[in-house]
Amino acid sequence: MAILLCITQWDPVPWLERMRRLAPERDIRAWPDVGDPADITYAAVWKQPAGVLKDLPNLKGIVSLGAGVDHVFADPALPDVPIARVIDADLTSRMSEWVVMHALIHLRRQRLYDALQRERLWRDIRPAPAAGELRVGIMGMGVLGQDAAAKLRTIGFSVAGWSRTRRTVEGLETYGGDALDEFLARTDLLVALMPLTPDTRGILDLSLFRRLARDGVLGAPILMNAGRGGLQVEADILAALDEGTLGAATLDVFETEPLPQESPLWLHPKVTITPHNSAISDEDAVGRFVLSQIERHERGLPFETEVDRRARY
């Protein structure tokens, strides 16, 4: 009975040390040092190489080391065992910090004030709308979307949410999958917090941007994406910014990560970039969560955060 950490694109060494420290009684290994594949009963993964998990004959479950599981499903030879993902209060809270901070930066036009400061210019930009005049629309009303919505509402933003199935959230305007146009038409600041699935890939494209509200207080609608880079068509974001369909974009995730040096997004004056760290996690908390899910499963209970294999999130 061993746990295999199967990690690429992050340094696996600190994860191996962390998991061994958190569960010293356990046999924990890190790919590619699998040992006897028959020993492995659980895998904790971040972007596992395709085909590695299918060679573990006694695998009983897979736990994503992140909230998203698109990286798990990218493996065409994924074994048919339950898959869990991370839900962690610290991660959720940090994502909401990112959403609230960047929503306020747009509302208060902080990027313009940064530019004025560099020119030593003392200028008051008007109009200066109040939070309640900015209609924020959150695409993806799951764990992250709902927390961000609640925190934005506390500040006074006018918030609505869109999800596959319509959610009922007290005090919040909500829309279901078939009401996308209605949702977009009332949205000045679009926040994408959706998983990457076959249904959502490329959803943030020019045709969608053109359906956003055109009568907002900031002049042109704004895009913020912290879900996954695969949701967005970067060429369309650039085209939308250049034709004025979008007024600005704040992006934490990208089609290719790290964002290639030659990407025009880097130096675009209307683009703000963060390096896929909007929800930097407390890694010990994530490690403890992963171990708690494995312990549950060993006791014969289902994972608390098992994902739907058909929906892929």
Check binding of 138 to ligand NDP (CB under 6 A).
no
Rounded distance between C-alpha atoms, residue 311 and residue 251, angstroms: 25
d(CA 165, CA 256): 29
Q: Determine if 226 is a binding residue for ligand NDP (CB under 6 A).
A: yes
Q: How far is CA 180 from CA 137, 140, 189, 225, 295, in A?
A: 11, 12, 15, 17, 40
Site membership for ligand OXD, residue 5 (CB under 6 A): no
Compute the least distance from the CB of residue 108 to ligand NDP, in Å. Answer: 23
Long-range contacts of 208-215 (CB under 8 A, 24+ apart): 208/184, 209/236, 209/237, 209/240, 209/245, 209/246, 210/240, 210/245, 211/180, 211/181, 211/184, 211/185, 212/184, 212/185, 212/187, 212/188, 212/245, 212/246, 213/135, 213/184, 213/185, 213/186, 213/187, 213/188
Handedness of CA 69, 72, 75, 80 (dihedral sign): negative
Q: Which does 194 bind (CB under 5 to 8 A by kind): ligand OXD, ligand NDP, none?
A: ligand NDP
> What residues form DSSP beta bridges with 83?
62
Q: 207 vs 244, which CB is nearer to ligand NDP?
A: 207
Span interacting with ligand OXD, options 65-73, 109-117, 129-137, 163-171, rule CB under 6 A: 65-73
Quick check: 48 binds ligand NDP (CB under 6 A)? no
Q: Which stretch binds ligand OXD (CB under 6 A): 66-74, 122-130, 170-178, 207-215?
A: 66-74
The interface mask with ligand NDP, positions 75-114, x = CB under 6 A, is: --------------------x-------------------
At 149, is the secondary structure helix, strand, or coil?
Answer: helix
Report which residue's Cβ sits closest to ligand NDP: 142
Residue 18 annotated in active site:
no
- Rule CB under 6 A: say whether 228 interacts with ligand NDP: yes
Contact by Cβ (8 Å): 136, 60 = no
211 binds ligand NDP per the rule CB under 6 A: no
- Least separation in angstroms between CB 84 and ligand NDP: 12
Give yes or no for residue 287 binding ligand OXD (CB under 6 A): no
Report how far residue 76's alpha carbon sits from residue 132's, in angstroms, rounded to the nearest whole number: 46
Annotated catalytic residue 211: no
Per CB under 6 A, 247 contacts ligand NDP: no
Q: Which residues are catalytic?
A: 228, 276
The residue ranges that bind ligand OXD (CB under 6 A) are: 66-68, 279
The residue ranges that bind ligand NDP (CB under 6 A) are: 67-68, 95, 140-145, 163-165, 167, 177, 193-197, 199-200, 226-228, 252-253, 276, 278-279, 313
